[in-house]
Amino acid sequence: MDLERQAVERVLPRLLPAEDQWPSRLHRAMRHAVLGGGKRIRPILACLANRAAGGDPEAITEAACGLEMIHTYSLVHDDLPTLDDDVLRRGRPTVHVAFDEPTAILVGDALLTEGLLVLASYPVGPQWAAARAEAVALVAEAIGSRGMVGGQMEDLEATGQVAGDRVPGDPGVRLDLIHRHKTGCLLRASVEAGAVWAGLPVDQRMGFVRYGECLGLAFQIADDVLDSTATAAELGKSPGKDAEADKLTWVTLYGLKEAQKRLDELETEIVELAINIEGPDGALAALARTVVRRRS
């Protein structure tokens, strides 16, 4: 996992336009958002899944970094004053604080675009063309209106930030809908993209998809737990925002103890799924443990 993280940290700065390249304000702000922090879970997941599916992760590091750019776009837009209004992210001021709101909107737009551009451009070579088109389609579907953006819309409706169209149903069902889409879709797509880059056909990817889905759910519950227990220094972002904003989370809905119990169950389930994919003591199982037990 450390090797993959190092590869991502080496490649990411090279994929982003240089600070002195026109338009330099935008490029400075994009680099501020992406570099100097972040767990890089999505590209690491893609690399580990790629290896487990028989691929060569070194060939797909650039492409995997596109996932991190896309993830960062979602953070920059979610942090905007009209959305979650967050001032701290990855231990640094958010883009609209360090720069300004119009710049932050454009940074998100540009990172989403450049992230998909990276997926459409890497790996280089005609033999990879079909995998490139498939990865773009797979990821774009996961982060579109029926995926990640839809989850954010539902979240805004749940907190009453926008007028909801429908009668709020069971809050547990609604929370599940938010989690599965807002966080789960891109994590699942990152795992599946790793399998696509290894040439695995769609009917052999079910184990990867299931692993990615469960990991996404565990990731979000761990996030909710951390928001209610960790400090800003540990998190690198403002804690306690969920309770403050009256957000629907695992902790506000079921309590801390129940959330922790569900996390433990999920850990067992994910590790089993990982073993089915890669055998015992593999990197996907280790990553799952890190995600569940993380302190930031």
- Tokens of residue 93, six digits: 């001021």
Q: Which of 52/156 has CB closer to its own copies? A: 156
Distance CA 79, CA 83 (A): 6
191 binds its own copies (CB under 8 A): no
Choices 24-32, 50-58, 187-195, 264-272 (CB under 8 A): range interacting with its own copies = 24-32
How many residues make contact with its own copies (CB under 8 A)?
60
In the block, tokens 């433990």 appear at 264
Question: If DSSP codes are grouped into helix, strand and coil, which group holds residue 249?
Answer: coil
Helix 41-52 / helix 2-15 crossing angle, nearest 10 deg:
120
Of positions 10, 36, 54, 100, contacts its own copies by CB under 8 A: 100
Distance CA 80, CA 72 (A): 13
Distance CA 176, CA 187 (A): 15
Give min distance, CB of 291 to its own copies, in A: 25
Residue 88 has phi, psi (to 5 degrees) of -130, 135
246 binds its own copies (CB under 8 A): no
Of positions 71, 132, 180, 205, contacts its own copies by CB under 8 A: 132
Of positions 15, 26, 274, 288, contacts its own copies by CB under 8 A: 26
Choices 19-27, 44-52, 190-198, 220-228 (CB under 8 A): range interacting with its own copies = 19-27
Residue 73 is inside which H or E element, if any? helix 57-78
Three-class secondary structure assignment of 174-237? HHHHHHHHHHHHHHHHHHHHHHHHCCCCHHHCHHHHHHHHHHHHHHHHHHHHHHHHCCHHHHCC
163 binds its own copies (CB under 8 A): yes
133 binds its own copies (CB under 8 A): yes
Of positions 33, 110, 284, 291, contacts its own copies by CB under 8 A: 110
Residues that bind its own copies (CB under 8 A): 17, 21-28, 30, 73, 77, 80, 82-83, 99-103, 105-106, 108-110, 112-114, 116-117, 120-121, 126, 129-130, 132-134, 136-137, 140-141, 143-146, 149-150, 152-154, 156-157, 161-166, 177
